[in-house]
Structure 1
Amino acid sequence: MSRTTQAGGYRERLLAGAVACLQEKGYARTTARDLVAASGTNLASIGYHFGGKDALLHEAIAGCFEAWTRRVEEAIFSPAPGTPRELLERAMVALVDVFEELRPQLVVCVEGYPAALRESVLRERMAAMYARAREAGVGMIRRACAEMGVEPPVQPEVLVSVLIAVSDGLLLQWLLDPASTPDARQVVDALAALTMFAA
């Protein structure tokens, strides 16, 4: 058992154990006994804190999504936004150039997709996670535009959805073929080049 899963109360240990199991075994192959072994807790604690194994796994997946969103916001606003392009570059660095560093957590996020196709509760939970990520992204865009004294170039909700789609798509490519996946600067250059065709 890792030091991470030994630290904290039962709830925190169960969540850490769930993340470890999702990374090692995946969603479908993780059992309640796996979760107990990874967290150093007991079967009753899963029901007490989460209501069941699936709810615990859902919470672990949600936690990984939310942690990534917080990292993006911290990267964008520290230091304060400069030009719109600098802001976009910071956002893409926090969304794309972190794949290697965050690989274990991002694998957990990806593990949620196939399970969500078959489980309506997880599907609704992940849809809600995307809704929160979009809401947070819209708030970031409005805050940045206000600080720069400019208007958003397009509807913020649409812009955030497109940036999430770019990030998610690149993540899937990177997991399969890291060497062929562009980095954040290349992504920003490509997005800028696309505007030539839309002008």
Structure 2
Amino acid sequence: MSRTELGGYRERLLAAAVNCLQEKGYARTTARDLVAASGTNLASIGYHFGGKDALLNEAIVSAYDAWIEHVEESVFGGPLAGPREMLERAMVALVDVFAEMRPQLVLAVEAYPAALREELLRAKLAAVYGRARQAGIDMINRAAAELGVELPFAPEALISVLIAISDGLMIQWLLDPESTPDAHQVVEALAALSAFIA
């Protein structure tokens, strides 16, 4: 396969970084691993990203961004019957994909400790969470407009809570998949909680 068919060096390095992160983890991925997996050279890492860590950070961010896009496509993949259906679709895209996305989940969890020690990665992940929150807010506003309903709340806090639920379930699933609720159970629990505290 020619270089053109494989894509440019930058794209190949990013794809290789995602693969290496999923297979080896953040701390164990070396620049040589990235070069071998991408079919590029050491100089191309510095040229396109400034260094190995910057490349790995960018790969982590791209994995998060892809997940955000997946959720939005799932929510609006067909007509919505109501707010509960929107929540169910979002939860399916966030929770019921854990088995097929296991390598990405491990990558996400491994990014947290690295971000605690590396300021640039922490800033990039904070920005990703900001984009995720904004995407969620936009989805709620779009759904409300499509359904012709007025929101009885500001969506900002709700989105942060839903992200926290998804992140928490992701960690639980990685440790004990059999005991982790699925999307339907999550929605049922949220509905029961809402009725209980109303």
Deviation of the 1:69 alpha carbon: 0.4
Alpha-carbon separation, structure 2, partners of 1:97 and 1:140: 19
Alpha-carbon separation, structure 2, partners of 1:12 and 1:106: 22
* Consecutive unaligned residues in structure 1, runs of 5 or more: 1-5
RMSD: 1.2
State the match for 2:172 in structure 1: 173
Q: Deviations over 1:34-59 (max 9, x none)?
A: 11111111100001111111110011
Q: Superposed, which structure 2 residues align to 1:6-155 within 5 Å?
A: 7-155=6-154
Alpha-carbon separation, structure 2, partners of 1:190 and 1:94: 17
Deviation of the 1:11 alpha carbon: 1.1
TM-score (ref. length: structure 1)? 0.94
Alpha-carbon separation, structure 2, partners of 1:14 and 1:78: 31
The AA in structure 2 aligned to 1:143 is R
In structure 2, the residue corresponding to 1:89 is in which secondary structure? helix
**Percent identity between the two aligned chains:** 72
The AA in structure 1 aligned to 2:11 is E
Deviation of the 1:7 alpha carbon: 2.6
The AA in structure 2 aligned to 1:107 is V
Name the count of aligned residue pairs.
194
Alpha-carbon contact 2:23-2:103 (below 8 Å) kept: no
Structure 1, 87-96 or 30-39: larger mean CA deviation: 30-39
Structure 1, 135-144 or 103-112: larger mean CA deviation: 103-112
Alpha-carbon separation, structure 1, partners of 2:8 and 2:52: 17
* Consecutive unaligned residues in structure 2, runs of 5 or more: none
Q: Deviations over 1:86-115 (max 9, x none)?
A: 111001001100111122222222221010
Q: Deviations over 1:131-151 (max 9, x none)?
A: 011011100000000111112
Alpha-carbon separation, structure 1, partners of 2:46 and 2:33: 15
The AA in structure 1 aligned to 2:121 is L
Alpha-carbon separation, structure 1, partners of 2:68 and 2:152: 22
Structure 1, 146-155 or 163-172: larger mean CA deviation: 146-155
The AA in structure 2 aligned to 1:86 is E
State the match for 1:3 in structure 2: none
Alpha-carbon separation, structure 1, partners of 2:178 and 2:140: 31
Deviation of the 1:76 alpha carbon: 0.6
Structure 1, 118-127 or 98-107: larger mean CA deviation: 98-107
Structure 1, 76-85 or 115-124: larger mean CA deviation: 76-85
Alpha-carbon separation, structure 2, partners of 1:51 and 1:192: 48
TM-score (ref. length: structure 2)? 0.94
After the TM superposition, which segments of 4 or more aligned residues of structure 1 sit over 6 Å from their partners? none
Deviation of the 1:153 alpha carbon: 3.3
Deviation of the 1:118 alpha carbon: 0.5
Deviation of the 1:152 alpha carbon: 2.1
In structure 2, the residue corresponding to 1:55 is in which secondary structure? helix
The AA in structure 1 aligned to 2:53 is D
